[in-house]
Structure 1
């Protein structure tokens, strides 16, 4: 992954260097945490890419669950329990088993799941349900999971073999699963949901879909901690200049879920004590036709990260007839990638003309390695950013407020 910022980020190199130097002790702490096989620190998630035993456990689970009769994988979770695997499946489009994801409570989606389960049972085919909840008591996940499991029990005599639960080892959900004879995968207690993409939470769906989780982890192991710290410093310096919004502008339609993963990471990690950065997700080139007027001419309260993905595809705009070709002659014989590159270059130049600050992250291939690098880079970045802001990156106490009220409403 290529990170570029000079001449576009809106702050001086000397200011960036000063903050990276200030972060040096914390960067050393993060590097130590990345080698802590006991997952004993708050930054424990950084060790996940180095955990060979975790990859072996995932490989064994896949070997046990994946058969020639397996026709669909249903992933039940919400937030950090599901966004990472959705991002990977969308960005890399594995050609393996079909996946469906169930996050919010939606009767129409669950009815579709019920119909799918009954159809596969009638065809004597199998499916696998992966229920993911760090605490084991997430309301939406519990409700969706209960409906799906009830149907499984009705139509599959050995339904337990078609379920995997991913949760903290001592959660009530994990305990129930073990009592039922259902396979479980552990989520280390120190690894919070939004930091769990490279744990069993994200790895089992990725591996079942056919993705190379070893390459995913290896990419994460390769990140440049100083670059991630520099990115955090740039965002922080722009925040201090009144840019309270961070727009992740993704110029690839298959990266939208990656943007949503990043949105949760930033929102939950930094929204503390009256501080925070509002994360935005924009899609190129679609949102150039809906939001760019605001971005260019509206309040100067946004900082942008442009994200691209090199796919190496070469669909060409072929000549058709003189009348049609002459309408927009300059796209004739150009590949769609060339057209998009020109749109991106034009967008960046427009930003520069209006002194709108941005950095660029270029994923150099549609590969597990590049995606792993991106995930780990962003995890380190947000930890460094929280350190500069003086907020607890790992807490999210306010999220519990609505959950408590919701439970009281449902108990009436």
Structure 2
């Protein structure tokens, strides 16, 4: 079976192979800390062995619950924010044919996302769309009180109960939450909702292989067993026992930190496949939330090529030389389409006649790589043999293991996110939430 591959040859205009090799001792040390649980954030390391610990019973239970929603619903709204949203959306978007939403018949419910913003128009339009539709809800929240998903759940739960009654609504709502505490756990126990547990030792951005990600993905009709299998295979390939020079996660972490030390403060994750957009969104949270601390860390951005070559391409080619790029490439598309000859040839494309569209795409990718390297943008290339659940599982675990090592190289705790609370405190104060009276008075005085 083929596996994900990592190509660092495009970074050696900015750093040397020796600078990467120099990280070997620390990389080995940090891997040992991750596996022994002796480093920073060691109470959130449940993701490390997760691919090998997911049981047949757990997978079957998730699949059974998914079938229950599939039988009752044409649409399922997955409610969550951050890690309770991005992993599932990334996988579903990557595996769903581009025009599936426009089909009149579907083999599985359409999964819609809510609770990831506080847009009144978004929620109003969603309510209007779901009215008189067969829909269900997956509410994903550790506490049940996170503002964005809590608002969405309150509104959509009321709509569902209005349409089908409280008894039937119980069969169409699944809660993914804490095992014992929190408002959502209390409500789920009271109402008798089917529930799945968010493990205490796995943070949101690492949770895609828990029910947080697996349940919505299964509802959408995709093979969660293949996703887990891919992650399990990658776990073996990036294990602490694998030598540094053969360990893609360790090498990626070392390359990023070498480039950071060389003044490359921005990493752009790019792709040449339109269905990878939300992989970039998931990656931005994984790396930004893990490393952006203590006034340190690489800034993460993402682009979709070739479209963004006609917007961001100019800046990437000739802007400030503080960037490097990582490209996720798909070796072989899932379909075949060739460019035909045209007798008039008014567009001048007959030189491409007989070629696959993907061959043109691959030459665009290669041309971009050479141009960017020549322009002072180091290039890391990650290649997936094809775009399917198995290789996405590999990619996710590769990135997760690498960010753990990379965060330790940066000397930060990659498993907390204290800065996320700052906006919440201000929002609660401005909304005059009970318990924030002093903060309300202080912030209103500042804003006079």
Q: Normalised by the size of structure 2, how large is the TM-score?
A: 0.85
Correspondence 1:206 to 2:206: no
Q: CA deviation at 1:24?
A: 1.0
Which stretch has the larger CA shift, 98-107 or 263-272? 98-107
Which position in structure 2 is the counterpart of 1:163? 173
Q: CA deviation at 1:109?
A: 2.6
Q: CA deviation at 1:29?
A: 4.0
SS of structure 2 residue aligned to 1:134: coil
Correspondence 1:44 to 2:46: yes
Distance 1:344 1:7 in 2: 13
Aligned pair count reads 400
Distance 2:75 2:151 in 1: 20
Which position in structure 1 is the counterpart of 2:7? 4
Correspondence 1:218 to 2:239: no
SS of structure 2 residue aligned to 1:104: coil
Which position in structure 2 is the counterpart of 1:142? 150
Contact 1:77 1:132 in 2 (8 A): yes
Q: Provide the aligned C-alpha RMSD in A.
A: 1.9
Distance 1:17 1:168 in 2: 42
Correspondence 1:79 to 2:96: no
Q: CA deviation at 1:319?
A: 1.9
Distance 1:279 1:337 in 2: 28
Distance 2:323 2:266 in 1: 5
Q: 1:19 aligns with which of 23, 31, 38?
A: 23
Q: 1:135 to 1:11 in 2, by over 3 A?
A: farther
Q: Normalised by the size of structure 1, how large is the TM-score?
A: 0.92
Q: 2:190 aligns with which of 168, 174, 179?
A: 179
Which stretch has the larger CA shift, 20-29 or 84-93? 20-29
Q: 1:112 aligns with which of 95, 104, 125?
A: 125
Q: 1:260 aligns with which of 245, 260, 281?
A: 281
- 1:86-130: CA deviation from partner (whole Å, max 9, x where unpaired): 11111111752211111212223323332343222xxxxx32201
SS of structure 2 residue aligned to 1:371: helix
SS of structure 1 residue aligned to 2:267: strand
Distance 2:64 2:30 in 1: 36
SS of structure 1 residue aligned to 2:113: strand
Which position in structure 1 is the counterpart of 2:141? 133
Contact 2:10 2:380 in 1 (8 A): no
Which stretch has the larger CA shift, 130-139 or 364-373? 130-139
Contact 1:129 1:163 in 2 (8 A): yes
Q: 1:303 to 1:332 in 2, by over 3 A?
A: same
- 1:51-87: CA deviation from partner (whole Å, max 9, x where unpaired): 11432331232244331x4211111111111111111
Q: CA deviation at 1:260?
A: 0.4
Correspondence 1:321 to 2:321: no
SS of structure 2 residue aligned to 1:128: strand
Distance 1:181 1:249 in 2: 44
Q: CA deviation at 1:329?
A: 3.8
SS of structure 2 residue aligned to 1:14: helix
Q: CA deviation at 1:325?
A: 4.2
- 1:169-220: CA deviation from partner (whole Å, max 9, x where unpaired): 2222112111111111110112111111111110001111111111101111
Contact 2:342 2:350 in 1 (8 A): no
Distance 1:43 1:241 in 2: 30
Which position in structure 2 is the counterpart of 1:37? none
Distance 1:54 1:357 in 2: 43
Contact 2:385 2:391 in 1 (8 A): yes
Distance 1:248 1:117 in 2: 35
Gaps of 5+ in 1: 34-39, 121-125
SS of structure 1 residue aligned to 2:22: helix
What are the residue-to-residue correspondences of 1:300-379 with 2, within 5 Å?
Answer: 300-309=321-330, 310-326=332-348, 328-379=349-400
Q: 1:346 to 1:156 in 2, by over 3 A?
A: same
- 1:233-263: CA deviation from partner (whole Å, max 9, x where unpaired): 0000000011110100111111000100001
Distance 1:134 1:357 in 2: 40
Gaps of 5+ in 2: 98-106, 239-246, 434-448
Distance 2:10 2:110 in 1: 44
Which position in structure 1 is the counterpart of 2:438? none
Which position in structure 2 is the counterpart of 1:92? 95
Distance 1:78 1:172 in 2: 17
